């Protein structure tokens, strides 16, 4: 399995004045590697990709490739709602040395299923790198149906799907219908265990910033047949899975990582840092489960 079981959708550390914090980027990469991450996804939703310029994204890809030095895999988030620009950017991303690319269903446009299909065909044709499909209708306002994902899985370099629709029936249909060499990841930490039980392959996680080793332990326990242990870990860390989405992501995550001394809590507008009441809610599960 090229990208492993535990992938982390990495946030982008910013300085207090909103610039990329390169020292913190390096420290956070090291933290993720040490806590079980198999693959780092750079410039996905959790990275605040809508507020990153193309030059910033390319710099993040290059920096991460250099910092990682082959120890884990790197997937570049290249998605946008402009197919021509996505194709051009995919080619630029490939030149930075990343191991794969991830495209998202075009947002705001609300394309038809044929439009979604042709968008991903264009991405796949623009590179020889492995391609991950990303379905997250809660953010894009367009759901990629199981039939479209299955159809796209027939493309040579589409080898992974990140499914964050929350629709277990749809996800199960995808898992049961794609070729054996196409892996299906949960895009929702809370559904990691249910999707594993349905035959899925792992998680593209946000919680792994905070409880990576515990996520890895849960996955390994399930795969080893210790379902009871996996279930107990799932139950124990559910407050983390839910708490990091208390308000607009990644504000709660960045607040928690700041409490660990890894990054500043800075987010870029239109996101804002959490209120005092929200911080107190994070504090409750942080002190019990993370610190």
3-class secondary structure per residue, 139-202 = HHCCCCCHHHHHHHCCCCCEEEEEECCCCHHHHHHHHHHCCCCCEEEECCHHHHHHHHHCCCCE
pLDDT tens for the chain, 291 residues long, are 899 999 999 999 999 999 999 999 999 999 999 999 999 999 999 999 999 999 999 999 999 999 999 999 999 999 999 999 999 999 999 999 999 999 999 999 999 999 999 999 999 999 999 999 999 999 999 999 999 999 999 999 999 999 999 999 999 999 999 999 999 999 999 999 999 999 999 999 999 999 999 999 999 999 999 999 999 999 999 999 999 999 999 999 999 999 999 999 999 999 999 999 999 999 999 999 997
Q: Are the C-beta atoms of residues 202 and 4 closer than 8 Å to each other? A: yes
Cis preceding linkage at 163, omega within 30? no
pLDDT of 133 reads 98
Q: Are the C-beta atoms of residues 204 and 40 closer than 8 Å to each other? A: no
pTM, two decimal places: 0.97
> Considering 117, 134, 222, 237, which one is annotated as catalytic?
134
Annotated active-site residue 107? The verdict is no
Locate the domains of the chain by residue range: 6-233
Q: Are the C-beta atoms of residues 274 and 250 closer than 8 Å to each other? A: no
pLDDT of 1 reads 82
Strand pairing of 183-186 and 202-205?
A: parallel
> Considering 57, 73, 117, 162, which one is annotated as catalytic?
162
Beta bridge partners of 39: 7, 73
Structure tokens at 164: 């964050």
pLDDT of 192 reads 98
pLDDT of 291 reads 75
Beta bridge partners of 100: 75
Residue that has been written with the tokens 């107190």 in this structure: 280
Q: Are the C-beta atoms of residues 11 and 29 closer than 8 Å to each other? A: no
Domain spanning 6-233: which CATH class is it, in words? alpha beta
């Amino acid at each position: 399995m090229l990208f492993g079981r535990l992938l982390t959708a990495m946030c982008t550390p910013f300085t207090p004045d909103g610039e990329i914090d390169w020292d913190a980027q390096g420290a956070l990469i090291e933290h993720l590697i040490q806590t079980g991450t198999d693959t780092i996804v750079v410039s996905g939703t959790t990275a605040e990709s809508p507020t990153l310029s193309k030059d910033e994204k390319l710099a993040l890809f290059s920096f991460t490739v250099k910092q990682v030095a082959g120890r884990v895999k790197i997937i570049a988030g290249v998605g946008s709602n402009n197919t021509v620009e996505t194709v051009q950017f995919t080619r630029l991303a490939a030149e930075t040395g990343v191991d794969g690319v991830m495209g998202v269903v075009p947002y705001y446009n609300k394309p038809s299923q044929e439009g979604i299909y042709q968008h991903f065909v264009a991405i796949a044709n623009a590179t020889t790198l492995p391609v991950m499909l990303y379905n997250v209708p809660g953010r894009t306002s367009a759901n990629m149906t199981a039939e479209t994902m299955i159809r796209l899985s027939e493309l040579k370099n589409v080898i992974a799907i990140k499914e964050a629709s929350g629709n277990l029936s749809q996800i199960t249909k995808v898992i049961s219908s794609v070729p054996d060499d196409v892996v299906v990841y949960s895009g929702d930490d809370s559904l990691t265990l249910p999707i594993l039980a349905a035959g899925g392959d792992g998680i593209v996680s946000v919680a792994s910033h905070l409880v990576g080793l515990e996520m890895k332990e849960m996955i390994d326990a399930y795969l080893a047949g210790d379902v009871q242990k996996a279930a107990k870990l799932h139950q124990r860390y559910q407050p983390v899975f839910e708490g990091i989405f208390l308000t607009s992501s990644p504000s709660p995550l960045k607040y928690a990582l700041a409490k660990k001394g890894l990054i500043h809590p800075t987010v870029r507008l239109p996101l804002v840092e959490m209120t005092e009441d929200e911080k107190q809610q994070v504090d409750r599960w942080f002190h019990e489960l993370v610190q």
